[in-house]
Structure formats: structure tokens, C-alpha cells
Amino acid sequence: MPQPTRHYETMIFDSARWREFEFRDDDILICTPYKAGTTWTQRICALLVFQTPELDRPLAEITPWMDIKSLPVEHVHATYQAQSHRRFIKTHTALDGLPWDDRVTYLVVQRDPRDVFMSMMNHVANINPQSEALMMKEMREQGAPPPQVPEDPNELFPVWLNTGSFEWEQDGFPFWSVFNHCQTFWEARDKPNVHFVHYADMKEDLEGQMRRIAKLLDIEVPEQKWPELVDAATFSSMKKNADMMAPDTEVKMWKSNAAFFNKGQSGQWQDALTDENIALYNKLTRERYPSDMMNWLEHGGPFPG
């Protein structure tokens, strides 16, 4: 596999922060677009690695987002370097912006893009105004006008489908393309260390998917521990412990940590998006992306091939 061929940088994150990071043989990269089950997968990995629901510090401090600009890169590297347990590392960078290492497990978690969009709407509404003001101020100082993000999902949806953050992307505004993110890993799906997990499958059979992930990561869990670990990975348990579970709490990103775990449901787009927007989505995604990838993205289930 080639080394990174693209540099992903926005006001929020920068893939260059991976430069000079030293991998270990058993590292786990949690590779997701936004709002696709990132924190859920981090929690599952923590439960499998530590085999206890208890954490000695917030989850985000154990598995910080490598790419985020709000934390000094030296701090993030040092945090991971100091860890003696098996490391599980959060990234939102597409595969063509990541270093490749045959020793590393790339755990790729995806979700129906329409559900990603609906969750993104809640995500934007929950951003702490003070944090948002700082980002807007920095944009203005750099000569980049702050993006105007419509609050009406049916007004934003066609913009999300037709505006990219990078020259090689056609969609994703105001963040980045969830479709491109998936496609970069999709093209490497035959690699023995690239494994796909779907949000809908975790919703339908959490224990089954946790057992599958444990097997993929070659982690043995005593049978008597499973009920406690599965319960700790449920949406309700994570929401109840939101101050320990929510991401980016160290930079006070959210109005409410509990609201970060909004509903965790699938299919909300069906009652929110107009028939016209759904038709536009079907047309554009099938023109731009592989049909087998899109079918799996939307439904999950047995992986193609």
C-alpha cells in the first residue's frame, strides 16, 4: 500500500499530525467518518482491552482524536506513547491520508449516510457557542468566511450532497465526505488487516458484533464477563455516563455531554427528508460511488466479497 497521497486539513483537523507517529505491532486504528459510531467503537475497544466497564479517566483522554487541532500534537503523541496497554486510536482521516502499516488493524466503522446527516444536524446544534465563536474568529482572522449552515435539514441536505471541503470531494459540507472516506477503505477491503463494521449491525446485535470485533482483534474474553461488558456498551449506559464517554470534553465542545448521545436511532431521515431530496441522494450517490458499497453502507449486513 502507498503512503499518504492526500493531505486532509480543515479548521478542525489535520491529517499531517500522523507524521512521525510510531506504530506498534498490535495498534488498532478506529477509522470512521463523523457521526458513524466512533465513540461507540472506542467504548467497545476499551471494554475489550481492559475487560472492565470502569475507566480511570474520560474515554477521550485514553483514546484522543489524533487529527484534531485543538490538542497539541506533541501532547497526543505523548499520550499514546506512554500507554502500556494495547492502543486503540481514533481517526477521521480517509485511508489515502493515513500512513499504512501491515502490523496495524484498521477497524473501519460506517453508517447509513442519511443517518449520518441527521446525526450531524444534532451535532451542530449541540456545539458550545463559545467553542463555535473561537472557530469562527480564527476563520475570519485567516481570511476564510465562516460557512453559513442552514438549520433546515431539507435546505442543508442538497448542499451537503453537492459541496465538498477538498478539491477531490463532491460532498460533505460543512465537514467532509463520508462517501469518499468509505471508498478509500473500500478499495483496500481485501487487505487482511482492514475490517468493516456497520452501525446498523451493532444496533441489531450488539453482543454478536462485540464478539466479532474481539475475534478480529484476537482478544479473548472470559465468558462470564460478556454480560457486564455488553451492558456497558449500550446506548443508555453510555448516555448515563456521558461526562466520561463524550468526545472532546477536554475542550468543552458541547452544550450538553448527554445530548451528544442524542437518540442513536436509524432511519430518522425517512420522516425528515423530502421525496425530492431522497431522489437527489439516490441519483448522485449511484452516479458517483460503487453500487455494492452504497448498498452495504445503507443496510449493513454480510460484507460483500
Annotation says 92 is catalytic: yes
Specify the pLDDT at position 204: 95
Q: Pick the catalytic residue: 7, 85, 92, 195?
A: 92
Q: What is the mean pLDDT of the chain?
A: 88
Q: Give residues with Cβ within 8 angstroms of 42, minimum separation 6.
A: 30, 59, 63, 88, 90, 247
pLDDT classification of 133: cutoffs 50, 70, 90 = very low
Which pLDDT value is given to residue 240?
86
For the chain, what are the domain ranges?
15-299
15-299: CATH, from 3.40.50.300, 3.20.20.20, 1.10.1040.10, 3.40.140.10? 3.40.50.300
Least confident window among 80-89, 201-210, 241-250, 251-260: 251-260
What is the average per-residue pLDDT within 199-220? 97
Identify the pLDDT of residue 70.
83
Please count the other Cβ atoms lying within 10 Å of the Cβ belonging to residue 216: 15
Highest average pLDDT, of 82-96, 229-243, 257-271, comes from 82-96
Helices of type H across 82-205: 113-125, 129-141, 153-162, 178-186, 199-204
**How confident is the model over 154-192, as pLDDT tens digits?**
999 999 999 998 999 999 988 899 999 999 999 999 999
User: Within its chain, how far is the Cα of 49 from the centroid?
Assistant: 19
Residue with cell 475497544: 45
pTM higher than the cut 0.85 = yes
